[in-house]
Amino acid sequence: MTASPAIAADQLRLSVAPMMDWTDPHCRAFHRVLAPHARLYSEMVHANAVIHGDRARLLAMDPSEHPVALQLGGSEPELLAQAARIGAEAGFDEINLNCGCPSDRVQAGRFGACLMREPALVADSVAAMIAACASLEKPVPVTVKCRLGVDDDHEWERFIAFVDTIAAAGCRMFVVHARNAWLQGLSPKENREVPPLRYDWAYRLKVERPQLQVIVNGGIADAAEATAHLGHVDGAMLGRAAYHTPYLLHELDVRWFGGALRTRGELLRAYRPYVEAQLGKGVFLKHITRHLLGLFSGQPGGRAFRQVLSEGAHRPGADWSLLEQALALTGREGVAA
Ligand SMILES: Cc1cc2nc3c(=O)[nH]c(=O)nc-3n(C[C@H](O)[C@H](O)[C@H](O)COP(=O)(O)O)c2cc1C
């Protein structure tokens, strides 16, 4: 068995969850400006798509994004191994296997959360992925993102057996979305809200398997909650809160890693070179600004900021000046009334 390389502890503390349709390269480059120390994750890409699809698009990444992980979906060890190697060669710093997505489409393809019922297959997949990435000049870690179980299976023994089986195949790092996935009757959205969170299982995993790196995910809403998790596990992964209130990422990065707190306006302007470069390549502004709408969430002018971007970014020729226009409306009491 070849063990996956370890990830440096300070690279695990803060991460942004993989989110389909959200954590594209524009979003990740924005989050990188906000949180220089965060670990970023791509949207899930199916192994087949990596092998046969439009790689330039699916594996697009800006050099500023590192450290950044590629999340793969799939359940065929050979294909996952091939896709993992392609991802590592494309420059991703980690390959993560999705064992948590409950959507019907994913279930039909027999991957995602239903893999929680197939630890041996996941172990084979992980072993093949690690082997495929081990011979590279810079071996890339292979990790797993999972739930606690599926449906009404609440047996700790089954969860720990799942983790142990995969750890025995060489995987050292697990992102635990700390709730079950219900494979019947709930939409993916409901599956992120209805099954109760049980952080104690992620904590217990770290206590019982201290040699593993454990990241907790699910429902982390603010800096205090995120910080509390660090007393128990190696890191906190934020999804929706990071996307909808991205300044939280900046606050956490400064709180946990040091540095000076910058204003939202300063951060936005620090993102300008990326935006200008993308516009120069023909990218439409709306594809970038959709990820910025929450920057002033809860702040004076936050609604106006959002509105100006939403209404203006799709217009032909929209450029950086729209962001300056939106920014000018912030910081003034009452403007969002
Ligand atoms: C829009 C959206 C898309 C998601 N896509 C993925 C995905 O591609 N892969 C994955 O492992 N989880 C995906 N998730 C789940 C998140 O990674 C995360 O586990 C979940 O949202 C719980 O974390 P949170 O409460 O901090 O948002 C997605 C979540 C959202 C909201």
Per-residue pLDDT at 46: 97
Active site residue 101: yes
Per-residue pLDDT at 333: 47
Rounded Cα gap, residues 315 and 56, in angstroms: 26
Assigned token pair, 72: 């793969």
| Same domain? 33 vs 177 | yes
| Same domain? 138 vs 283 | no
Residues 6+ apart with CB under 8 A from 182: 102, 150, 151, 190, 191, 194, 195
Q: Count up the domains in the chain and report the number.
A: 2
Task: Establish whether 265 is an annotated binding residue.
Answer: no
Q: How far is the CA of 296 from the centre of ligand 1 (A)?
A: 22
Catalytic annotation, pick one of 101, 114, 133, 171? 101
CATH at residue 315: 1.20.120
Which residue, 165, 14, 5, is CA-closest to 88? 5
Q: How far is the CA of 179 from the centre of ligand 1 (A)?
A: 12
| Same domain? 305 vs 163 | no
Identify the residue whose C-alpha is closest to ligand 1 atom 13.
19
334: in domain: no
Rounded Cα gap, residues 276 and 282, in angstroms: 10
Which residues form the domain of 248?
A: 9-257
Assigned token pair, 111: 């991957």
| Same domain? 83 vs 166 | yes
Where does a domain end: 229, 257, 285? Answer: 257
Identify the residue whose C-alpha is closest to ligand 1 atom 7.
19
Which among 14, 15, 16, 19 is the best mutation to test ligand 1's pocket, defined by most ligand atoms within 8 Å of the CB? 19
| Same domain? 100 vs 50 | yes
Task: Establish whether 307 is an annotated binding residue.
Answer: no
Identify the residue whose C-alpha is closest to ligand 1 atom 6.
19
Q: Are 78 and 125 in contact (CB under 8 A)?
A: no
Instruction: Profile the chain (337 residues) by mean pLDDT over runs of 10 residues.
Output: 92 98 98 98 98 98 98 97 98 97 87 95 98 91 97 96 98 98 91 96 98 98 98 98 98 98 98 98 98 97 97 97 97 51
User: Which atom in ligand 1 lies closest to the alpha carbon of residue 98?
Assistant: 11
Rounded Cα gap, residues 201 and 217, in angstroms: 12
Per-residue pLDDT at 332: 61
Residues with CB under 6 A from ligand 1: 17-22, 43-44, 71, 98, 100-101, 145, 177, 192, 217-220, 238-241
3-state helix, strand, coil in the chain (%, to 5): 45, 15, 40
Q: Which amino acid is at 108?
A: A
| pTM beyond 0.85, yes or no | yes
Q: Which amino acid is at 104?
A: D
Indicate the SS3 state at residue 184.
coil
State pLDDT tens for residues 126-178: 999 999 998 898 889 999 999 999 999 999 999 999 999 999 999 999 999 99
Give φ, ψ of 289 to 5 degrees: -70, -20
Q: How far is the CA of 191 from the centre of ligand 1 (A)?
A: 10
| Same domain? 75 vs 146 | yes
